């Protein structure tokens, strides 16, 4: 280990327990929760195996009247929920790490769609997330009950084996934070009015929890010290500072961040490493207790600096621990170049938002540790001496070649372009996406250590060439091409005028063919591409209008927590936006649109149109080689990534990894992964 980083491996006392080092996996959602306890336990276990000194749960509901459905979080409603959480605590303890649990009561954020209970809040107010209905104002008996429920949950958490038990007041997701906020708390009793009164409920939770489990378990507070709302909310110079000052020595640990979740977990497109330091840096000056903070720290130097400068005592991480569960171990072993750095895309967050198991662009094993038995650092060795030709060096091809190489196979990876990376090489050059380049760089770095993987950039091939080189195992990863006819989710026929010279695709712009003047972007893709192309055109001096059939710009980016960031940036940049609009016809200088609801027509003057619609898989090689396989000229043939079905980069990486894992394995007739089923 580089001695510079030895401070990161010092133990840290947290109340009655001791963390073995300063690497702290803060609570993060994962889409598995109470529904998949075995998968969840194994995922967390691998984090502990990888060297994280503290490994925490996600939000864990303390009562059925705080049901967070449709999101799949943890549950500790009663004693029957203890065994599932005990699985995780035991798994984490196997490797000497501490297990933390984030107890939560969601207030008006919990719509209780599953339990059908009445939601409770400091005042009568609408439920979060545009759910119809309102929460009921808590009375004094409700508050006494809540304290009792939280205490009971703390005792259950202790019984389950947890070492650190949270009182949660962050992300605008927890009742304890709702009491703190003037815009939610208009009470005139001892729980409202002054900041001291609004802090009373959180103080009581801390004291109750310490009385219940203190001396055995550490009691932590997770607090949002700034909401980025100015005078409308908590700020680190105002009430955030004062709340910490009031409660400074009560908890055993402060876990501090900013709110809401979309700010705390901002994507790399909008925030860089360590971005929260200016908000949380004051906390250590107010308390003698250890402080943990996040900021998507991915590099050892940034982590070291945060500790040495007195910003934090423990390096908090959610996304970096997902991208590389073995990040601490690699630092300890001096293998810095092997760290699989987070790219800040928030595909992990989308899984929780969609209530499916967690996934990661960089780490295709995330969420598959129990289901498929995948480990991020180990892969089964080769079965035979077979040699494999992988055609296409984008994210799917690179990951497939890397994983096959790790298994020990002889692999040749050919790429038509001079540079490996495919779509990632092109997209990472777009505004705000430079960190996505890590998808390429890490894989090329790992392949560079393998004598059994050969790289051939600048090597375009035909189907005949593939057969002539004599490889009998071929994997096609040739990507996809953006359509130039407007066909997409909302239109099944080519748009009239699509063949005019004023029509461009994302591929054109990424190749440097930039139109001039007033440009209309028609976005029927609904993720990031339309908006980053708008930024690119703005950088080239264009006037930009964006039209989409969706009700929001970059609609799917709601799941990656960046939709509002995207729309705000476009609006602030002067981009004119039209939602719920279909593209009807393209004429020189004129574009016809129609409302997707009423069909009311409108016209926009524009010099060019950029069509961001569907993509066409480049599967010509695969289709041409299928007959050769049928004739026995190939032993195996597989198509992966966007060449199979265009999707996210994360899906392409997963597809490449899956192909490498399944190579020469006997296919299953049933479901190829384990499912946690209810026992009848």
Angle 448-449-454 from CA coordinates, rounded to 5°: 50
168 is catalytic: yes
Q: Which of 81, 163, 252, 264 is catalytic?
A: 264
Pairwise CA distance, residues 369 & 40, whole Å:
9
The DSSP-derived string for 79-141 is GGGHHHHHHHHHHHHTTT-EEEEEEE--GGG---TTT-PPPEESSSEEPGGG-SSEEEEP-HH
Q: Which of 105, 166, 168, 184 is catalytic?
A: 168
H or E segment at 43?
helix 37-49
Q: Which of 171, 178, 473, 518 is catalytic?
A: 171
595 is catalytic: no
- 184: phi then psi, degrees, rounded to nearest 5: -105, -30
**CB 337, CB 45: distance < 8 Å:** no
Nearest to 107 by CA among 88, 129, 90, 82: 129
Provide the strand spans (E) within 459-589.
473-476, 480-482, 503-504, 518-523, 543-548, 576-579, 581-587
Pairwise CA distance, residues 466 & 472, whole Å:
9
Residue 186, token pair as written in the block: 């208009």
**CB 182, CB 117: distance < 8 Å:** no
By DSSP bridging, strand 125-126 and strand 253-258 are: unpaired
Pairwise CA distance, residues 392 & 461, whole Å:
10
171 is catalytic: yes
Tell me whether residue 628 is exposed, middle or buried, using C-beta atoms within 10 angstroms of its C-beta: 0 to 12, 13 to 18, 19 or more: middle
Question: Would you give the DSSP letter of residue 496?
Answer: B
**CB 54, CB 19: distance < 8 Å:** yes
Pairwise CA distance, residues 240 & 256, whole Å:
10
Q: Which of 29, 345, 348, 542 is catalytic?
A: 29
Pairwise CA distance, residues 19 & 53, whole Å:
6
Question: Would you give the DSSP letter of residue 12?
Answer: E
| Residues that are catalytic | 29, 168, 171, 264
């Amino acid at each position: 280990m580089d001695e510079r980083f030895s401070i990161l491996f010092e133990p840290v006392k947290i109340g009655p327990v001791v963390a073995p080092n300063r690497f702290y996996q803060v609570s993060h959602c994962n889409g598995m929760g109470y529904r998949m306890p075995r998968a969840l336990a194994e995922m967390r276990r691998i984090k502990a195996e990888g060297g994280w000194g503290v490994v925490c749960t996600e939000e864990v509901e303390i009562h059925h009247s705080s049901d967070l459905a449709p999101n799949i979080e943890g549950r500790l409603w009663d004693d029957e929920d203890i065994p599932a959480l005990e699985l995780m605590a035991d798994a984490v303890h196997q490797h000497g790490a501490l297990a933390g649990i984030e107890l939560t009561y969601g207030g008006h954020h919990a719509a209780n769609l599953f339990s059908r209970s009445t939601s409770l809040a400091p005042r009568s107010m609408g439920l979060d997330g545009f759910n119809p209905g309102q929460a009921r104002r808590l009375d004094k008996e409700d508050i006494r009950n809540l304290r009792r429920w939280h205490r009971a949950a703390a005792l259950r958490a202790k019984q389950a084996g947890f070492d650190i038990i949270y009182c949660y007041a962050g992300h605008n997701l927890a009742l304890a934070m709702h009491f703190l906020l003037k815009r939610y708390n208009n009470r005139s009793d001892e729980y409202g009015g002054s900041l001291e009164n609004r802090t009373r409920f959180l103080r009581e939770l801390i004291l109750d929890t310490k009385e219940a489990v203190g001396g055995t378990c550490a009691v932590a507070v997770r607090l949002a010290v700034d909401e980025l709302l100015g005078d409308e909310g908590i700020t680190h110079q105002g009430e955030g500072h004062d709340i910490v000052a009031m409660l400074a020595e009560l908890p055993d640990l402060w876990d501090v961040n900013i709110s809401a979740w979309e700010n705390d977990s901002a994507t790399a497109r909008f925030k860089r490493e360590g971005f929260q330091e200016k908000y949380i840096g004051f906390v250590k000056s107010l308390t003698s207790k250890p402080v943990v903070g996040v900021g998507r720290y991915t590099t050892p130097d940034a982590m070291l600096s945060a500790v040495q400068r007195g910003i934090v005592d423990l390096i908090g991480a959610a996304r970096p621990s997902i991208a590389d569960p073995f990040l601490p171990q690699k630092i300890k072993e001096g293998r810095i170049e092997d760290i699989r750095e987070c790219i800040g895309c928030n595909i992990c967050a989308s899984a929780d938002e969609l209530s499916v198991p967690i996934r990661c662009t960089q780490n295709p094993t995330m969420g598959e540790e129990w289901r498929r038995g995948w480990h991020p650092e180990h892969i089964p060795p080769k079965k035979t001496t077979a040699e494999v030709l992988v055609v296409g060096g984008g994210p799917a091809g690179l990951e497939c070649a890397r994983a096959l190489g790790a298994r020990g196979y002889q692999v040749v990876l050919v790429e038509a372009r001079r540079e490996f990376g495919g779509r990632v090489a092109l997209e990472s050059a777009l505004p705000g996406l430079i960190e996505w380049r890590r998808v390429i760089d890490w894989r090329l770095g790992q392949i560079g250590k393998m004598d059994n993987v050969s790289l051939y950039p600048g090597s375009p091939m035909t189907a005949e060439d593939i057969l002539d080189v004599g490889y009998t195992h071929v994997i096609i990863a040739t990507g996809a091409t953006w359509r130039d006819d407007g066909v997409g989710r909302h239109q099944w026929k080519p748009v009239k005028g699509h063949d005019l010279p004023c029509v461009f695709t994302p591929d054109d712009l990424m190749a440097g063919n930039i139109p001039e003047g007033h440009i209309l972007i028609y976005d029927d893709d609904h993720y990031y591409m339309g908006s980053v192309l708008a930024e690119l055109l703005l950088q080239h001096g264009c006037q930009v209008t964006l039209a989409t059939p969706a009700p929001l710009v970059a609609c799917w980016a709601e799941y990656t927590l960046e939709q509002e960031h995207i729309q705000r940036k476009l609006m602030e940049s002067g981009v004119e936006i039209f939602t719920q609009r279909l593209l009807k016809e393209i004429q020189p200088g004129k574009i016809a649109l129609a409302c997707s609801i009423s069909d009311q027509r409108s016209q926009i003057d524009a010099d060019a149109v950029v069509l961001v619609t569907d993509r066409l898989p480049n599967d010509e090689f695969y289709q041409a080689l299928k007959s050769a396989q049928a004739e026995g000229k190939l032993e195996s043939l597989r198509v992966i990534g966007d060449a199979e079905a265009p999707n996210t980069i994360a899906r392409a990486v997963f597809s490449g990894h899956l192909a490498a894992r399944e190579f020469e394995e006997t296919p299953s007739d049933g479901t190829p992964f384990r499912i946690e089923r209810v026992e009848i």
